Structure 1
Protein backbone atom coordinates (compact mmCIF):
# COMPACT_ATOMS: atom_id res chain seq x y z
CA UNK A 1 0.00 0.00 0.00
CA UNK A 2 1.21 3.46 -0.87
CA UNK A 3 2.09 6.03 1.79
CA UNK A 4 1.32 8.78 -0.70
CA UNK A 5 -1.66 10.99 0.09
CA UNK A 6 -3.93 13.37 -1.74
CA UNK A 7 -5.42 16.73 -0.87
CA UNK A 8 -7.26 19.51 -2.60
CA UNK A 9 -6.49 23.18 -3.00
CA UNK A 10 -8.25 25.55 -2.45
CA UNK A 11 -9.96 24.47 0.76
CA UNK A 12 -13.46 25.10 -0.60
CA UNK A 13 -12.88 23.14 -3.82
CA UNK A 14 -15.32 20.39 -2.84
CA UNK A 15 -18.06 22.72 -1.59
CA UNK A 16 -21.36 21.92 -3.24
CA UNK A 17 -20.36 18.53 -4.61
CA UNK A 18 -22.81 15.70 -3.86
CA UNK A 19 -21.63 12.85 -1.62
CA UNK A 20 -21.35 10.46 -4.59
CA UNK A 21 -18.97 12.86 -6.34
CA UNK A 22 -16.79 13.16 -3.24
CA UNK A 23 -16.72 9.38 -2.82
CA UNK A 24 -15.70 8.91 -6.47
CA UNK A 25 -13.08 11.65 -6.11
CA UNK A 26 -11.61 9.89 -3.08
CA UNK A 27 -11.37 6.58 -4.98
CA UNK A 28 -9.82 8.18 -8.05
CA UNK A 29 -7.36 10.32 -6.07
CA UNK A 30 -6.18 7.30 -4.06
CA UNK A 31 -5.60 5.36 -7.29
CA UNK A 32 -3.64 8.24 -8.82
CA UNK A 33 -1.55 8.58 -5.64
CA UNK A 34 -0.80 4.86 -5.63
CA UNK A 35 0.13 4.88 -9.31
CA UNK A 36 2.40 7.91 -8.90
CA UNK A 37 4.09 6.27 -5.91
CA UNK A 38 5.05 3.41 -8.24
CA UNK A 39 6.34 5.77 -10.92
CA UNK A 40 8.36 8.03 -8.59
CA UNK A 41 9.88 5.39 -6.34
CA UNK A 42 12.44 7.73 -4.77
CA UNK A 43 9.68 10.05 -3.48
CA UNK A 44 11.14 12.74 -1.22
CA UNK A 45 14.64 12.09 -2.60
CA UNK A 46 13.48 12.82 -6.16
CA UNK A 47 15.70 15.34 -7.91
CA UNK A 48 14.48 15.14 -11.50
CA UNK A 49 11.68 16.77 -13.42
CA UNK A 50 8.13 16.50 -12.19
CA UNK A 51 5.00 16.34 -14.30
CA UNK A 52 2.92 19.46 -14.74
CA UNK A 53 -0.82 19.79 -14.57
CA UNK A 54 -2.57 16.57 -15.55
CA UNK A 55 -6.18 15.52 -16.00
CA UNK A 56 -7.97 12.28 -15.40
CA UNK A 57 -11.61 11.34 -15.71
CA UNK A 58 -13.84 8.52 -14.67
CA UNK A 59 -17.52 8.35 -15.41
CA UNK A 60 -19.07 11.70 -14.53
CA UNK A 61 -15.95 12.98 -12.73
CA UNK A 62 -13.01 14.89 -14.18
CA UNK A 63 -10.10 16.17 -12.09
CA UNK A 64 -7.03 18.29 -12.73
CA UNK A 65 -4.12 17.63 -10.42
CA UNK A 66 -0.45 18.18 -9.72
CA UNK A 67 1.97 15.55 -8.48
CA UNK A 68 4.09 16.86 -5.61
CA UNK A 69 6.73 14.13 -5.76
CA UNK A 70 8.94 15.40 -2.94
CA UNK A 71 5.95 15.62 -0.57
CA UNK A 72 4.66 12.24 -1.83
CA UNK A 73 1.19 13.53 -2.58
CA UNK A 74 -1.11 14.63 -5.33
CA UNK A 75 -2.96 17.92 -5.15
CA UNK A 76 -6.38 18.15 -6.77
CA UNK A 77 -6.82 21.67 -8.14
CA UNK A 78 -10.04 21.34 -10.16
CA UNK A 79 -13.04 19.04 -9.99
CA UNK A 80 -15.81 18.83 -12.55
CA UNK A 81 -18.85 16.69 -11.82
CA UNK A 82 -21.19 16.02 -14.70
CA UNK A 83 -24.09 14.95 -12.50
Structure 2
Protein backbone atom coordinates (compact mmCIF):
# COMPACT_ATOMS: atom_id res chain seq x y z
CA UNK A 1 0.00 0.00 0.00
CA UNK A 2 1.36 3.39 -0.96
CA UNK A 3 0.58 6.76 0.49
CA UNK A 4 -1.82 8.55 -1.81
CA UNK A 5 -1.92 12.30 -2.28
CA UNK A 6 -4.82 14.64 -2.75
CA UNK A 7 -5.29 17.91 -4.57
CA UNK A 8 -8.07 20.12 -5.76
CA UNK A 9 -8.95 21.39 -9.20
CA UNK A 10 -9.74 24.14 -10.16
CA UNK A 11 -7.14 26.20 -8.34
CA UNK A 12 -9.75 28.63 -7.00
CA UNK A 13 -11.92 25.87 -5.49
CA UNK A 14 -11.27 27.01 -1.91
CA UNK A 15 -11.78 30.72 -2.57
CA UNK A 16 -14.40 32.11 -0.24
CA UNK A 17 -14.49 29.11 2.09
CA UNK A 18 -13.97 29.89 5.78
CA UNK A 19 -10.88 28.47 7.49
CA UNK A 20 -13.08 25.96 9.36
CA UNK A 21 -14.29 24.55 6.04
CA UNK A 22 -10.77 24.35 4.60
CA UNK A 23 -9.50 22.50 7.68
CA UNK A 24 -12.41 20.05 7.44
CA UNK A 25 -11.80 19.58 3.71
CA UNK A 26 -8.12 18.81 4.25
CA UNK A 27 -8.93 16.31 6.99
CA UNK A 28 -11.58 14.58 4.91
CA UNK A 29 -9.33 14.51 1.82
CA UNK A 30 -6.54 12.80 3.79
CA UNK A 31 -9.02 10.18 5.05
CA UNK A 32 -10.40 9.53 1.56
CA UNK A 33 -6.88 9.23 0.11
CA UNK A 34 -5.92 6.76 2.84
CA UNK A 35 -9.08 4.71 2.30
CA UNK A 36 -8.65 4.64 -1.47
CA UNK A 37 -5.03 3.55 -1.11
CA UNK A 38 -6.35 0.50 0.74
CA UNK A 39 -9.12 -0.14 -1.81
CA UNK A 40 -6.62 -0.04 -4.68
CA UNK A 41 -3.33 -1.28 -3.17
CA UNK A 42 -1.74 -1.89 -6.57
CA UNK A 43 -2.01 1.86 -7.35
CA UNK A 44 -0.14 2.71 -10.54
CA UNK A 45 -0.15 -0.95 -11.61
CA UNK A 46 -3.97 -1.11 -11.43
CA UNK A 47 -5.46 -2.51 -14.65
CA UNK A 48 -9.13 -2.85 -13.73
CA UNK A 49 -12.00 -0.45 -13.76
CA UNK A 50 -11.73 2.75 -11.78
CA UNK A 51 -14.59 4.53 -10.04
CA UNK A 52 -16.02 7.71 -11.45
CA UNK A 53 -17.14 10.77 -9.56
CA UNK A 54 -17.56 10.09 -5.84
CA UNK A 55 -19.26 12.12 -3.11
CA UNK A 56 -18.57 12.40 0.60
CA UNK A 57 -19.92 14.59 3.33
CA UNK A 58 -19.02 15.35 6.89
CA UNK A 59 -21.02 17.72 9.00
CA UNK A 60 -21.60 20.86 6.94
CA UNK A 61 -19.07 19.95 4.24
CA UNK A 62 -19.91 18.13 1.02
CA UNK A 63 -17.23 17.25 -1.54
CA UNK A 64 -17.13 15.59 -4.92
CA UNK A 65 -13.89 13.97 -6.03
CA UNK A 66 -12.36 11.78 -8.70
CA UNK A 67 -10.12 8.89 -7.64
CA UNK A 68 -7.05 8.80 -9.89
CA UNK A 69 -6.03 5.23 -9.10
CA UNK A 70 -3.06 5.05 -11.45
CA UNK A 71 -1.86 8.46 -10.25
CA UNK A 72 -2.36 7.36 -6.62
CA UNK A 73 -4.29 10.49 -5.70
CA UNK A 74 -7.74 11.91 -5.36
CA UNK A 75 -8.78 15.16 -7.00
CA UNK A 76 -11.38 17.26 -5.20
CA UNK A 77 -13.50 18.91 -7.90
CA UNK A 78 -16.27 20.47 -5.82
CA UNK A 79 -16.61 21.65 -2.23
CA UNK A 80 -19.79 22.95 -0.67
CA UNK A 81 -19.89 24.39 2.84
CA UNK A 82 -23.34 24.60 4.34
CA UNK A 83 -22.42 27.03 7.07
Q: Which runs of 5+ in 1 are unaligned?
A: none
- TM-score if structure 2 supplies the norm length? 0.97
- TM-score if structure 1 supplies the norm length? 0.97
Q: Which runs of 5+ in 2 are unaligned?
A: none
Runs of 4+ in 1 over 6 A off after TM superposition: none
Deviation (angstroms), 1:2:
5.2
The CA RMSD measured in Å over matched residues stands at 1.1
Deviation (angstroms), 1:3:
1.3
Please show how residues 46-57 of structure 1 align to structure 2 within 5 Å: 46-57=46-57
Q: How many residues align?
A: 83
- Residue by residue over 1:41-72, the C-alpha shift from the partner in whole angstroms, topping out at 9 and shown as x without a partner, is 00000011000001000000000000000010
